[in-house]
Amino acid sequence: MCGILGTNFKSSFFLDSLKLLNHRGPDNLGLYEYENCQFGHTRLAIIDLESEANQPMVFDDIIIIFNGEIYNYKEIIKEEKLLCITKSDTEVLIRLYQKYGENFLNKINGMFSFSIYDIKKGRYFCARDRFGKKPFYYYLKNDKFIYASEIKSILKLLDSTPNLNQKALSQYLSFLTPIEDNTFYEDIKKLPAGHFLIFDETSFKIKKYYDIDNIKNVKRNEETVLNDIEDILINSVNQRLVSDVEVATLLSGGIDSSLTSALYSKFSKNKINTFCIGYDEHKHYSEIDYAKVVSKHINSNHHELIINRKDYIETIDKMIDYTDEPFGDSAAIPTYLLSEFIHNQGIKVALSGEGSDESFLGYDNYFTMLNYYQSKGSKELFTFTKEWEYNNRAFEKRHIYQTYGETFSENQKQRVLKEYKIKNHVENYMKCTYPPYKWLTYIDFKIWIAEVLMTKLDRMSMANSLELRAPFLDYHLVEYMLSVGENLKKGNTNKYLLKQVALKYLPNEIVHRRKKGFSSPFIEWLYEEYKEDILHTILEVNKKLNIFNEDFIRFLFNESKEKRFKQHIWNLFIFAKWFKKVY
């Protein structure tokens, strides 16, 4: 895993900008220039540890800077009969480009963002993986093209800080982060997951190469489906063990990370290292006891990190620094602290369980949503509750479910923002005509996974020079589960199919325990630490922006003290802290 940076012009600040990505790749810093184009790379050495695999890599008038891992690169070399000089997956991308041009992305399985510059054509070809695991930001204005793994490196090369993007703020209030190509900075964009861009002197275009919006159901019996899931998952775990350094696992004690750890342990010749995080108070949020059960069952070397309020509060500013913009998922903070803990053990790679809930209908809320889809709804007097919102959407025949992390509804945003017209933020996804049980998966892969979970995993782990790999996000498994029929997928419990597979590898008490999720005492610690300063910080920022309805802000603040609307006030507080840092 690495950091990339490139420009189509020369800047005396390029090296300083690249150094801002050192945390993403502390093992090597590489620079290359061709005419006015600059290329930079910071490397976290995981596959082919030799210097021959350092980047930028140049072969046959092709320059590449690449962030990620291609899990099937050895198979590709054989199948495509590629002649490679190095043992690196980076060179495989160059050879595929030479053979197929832009038409090779669906051949690779991995997490990636990269830029290929074709010297003969004077053209950039840049791409991002299917589900947005690796970031790619860019700026194109006044003939200046800058692209990077993180926004901070682009900002360093600009003459001034761009204006606040109001559309991004609206999306953030709804979904914890900006979606589609938006960032909080006007003119700085992100390449959407499953897309590539081509840029030369005469044109700039972005094109989608992958989607999961048209996967047909395939009729199979339950036994066949269970065997297929197990085979695909075993293969996915094994592929993500491809590494020339040790691989550990995150083990929360939930079924996803537990099954991932159990499969890894089963096929490993050595004891594996597992890592878990807990809290010194508010212990009902902690899953450490369950993680211990699994660790004992698979005989792992288990490591626990217990954090306190001080640890948590001090990490808020670090989270903002590494995301470069407001990010509302409070789970980013324990993810950062656990990644730091793993890094301090000398480990560079770990497996995680993200992506299972979305494919296997793991969230209890999914079943609540399916009930709403079967309802016609009714016209009722407005309240601020989610129940009113879902009932109203059913009544108005709108899509009821918009993503797992939805926070502010459009009606709530009309009250918190002084001037706001209701928008349909999922309009661009509504070409997908899936029935409700498939829509839940589809829209969560578009927003919750691509924009929220992948941002959390990448920024918080790479802040600590740690690469996290998610076996449940293998596209073969995602596509397969979208082809499974409704009744079989739903079964008689959440994650019905996965639980049948997991019983072969895990104790019953782990498989059938109630889902907890990666939660933390974020609002308790926030109020204990900051008290009235939470409100004062938001109102102070509003004196400059004058966009919030302060009476409604006060209402949310008081409600959040009682554990209501707590995500709403967290979003506003994080935005305010970021705004004070930047503007």
Q: Residues comprising the binding site for ATP?
A: 250, 277, 352-353
Q: Specify whether 84 is catalytic.
A: no
Of residues 333, 332, 337, 319, the one with CA closest to residue 276:
337
Cβ contact 498:356 at 8 Å: yes
What is the four-CA torsion angle of 184, 186, 192, 195, rounded to 10 degrees? -160
3-state secondary structure of 293: helix
In whole angstroms, what separates CA 27 from the centre of its chain?
A: 24
d(CA 290, CA 234): 23
Amino acid at 343: H
Of residues 46, 516, 504, 454, the one with CA closest to residue 234:
504
Helices (H), 351-495: 356-360, 364-374, 386-395, 410-416, 436-443, 454-462, 475-482, 486-490
| 145 φ, ψ (degrees, to nearest 5) | -120, 120
Residues annotated in the binding site, as ranges?
89, 250, 277, 352-353
Of residues 428, 405, 323, 400, the one with CA closest to residue 358:
405
d(CA 272, CA 8): 45
Amino acid at 198: I
The 10 Å Cβ neighbour count of residue 118 is: 18
Cβ contact 64:88 at 8 Å: no
Residues annotated in the binding site for L-glutamine, as ranges?
89
d(CA 431, CA 439): 11
For 57, 83, 410, 563, the CA distances from 95, given in Å and listed in that order, are: 12, 8, 48, 55
d(CA 175, CA 408): 8
Helix (H) or strand (E) holding 225: helix 222-239
Q: Of 2, 37, 126, 276, which is the active-site residue?
A: 2
User: Please, is 360 exposed, middle or buried when counting C-beta atoms within 10 Å of its C-beta (0-12, 13-18, 19+)?
Assistant: buried
The 10 Å Cβ neighbour count of residue 471 is: 29
d(CA 213, CA 133): 19
d(CA 500, CA 363): 17
Of residues 521, 464, 517, the one with CA closest to residue 308:
521
| 466 φ, ψ (degrees, to nearest 5) | -125, 135
Of residues 374, 493, 379, 517, the one with CA closest to residue 436:
374
Q: Active-site residues: which are they? A: 2
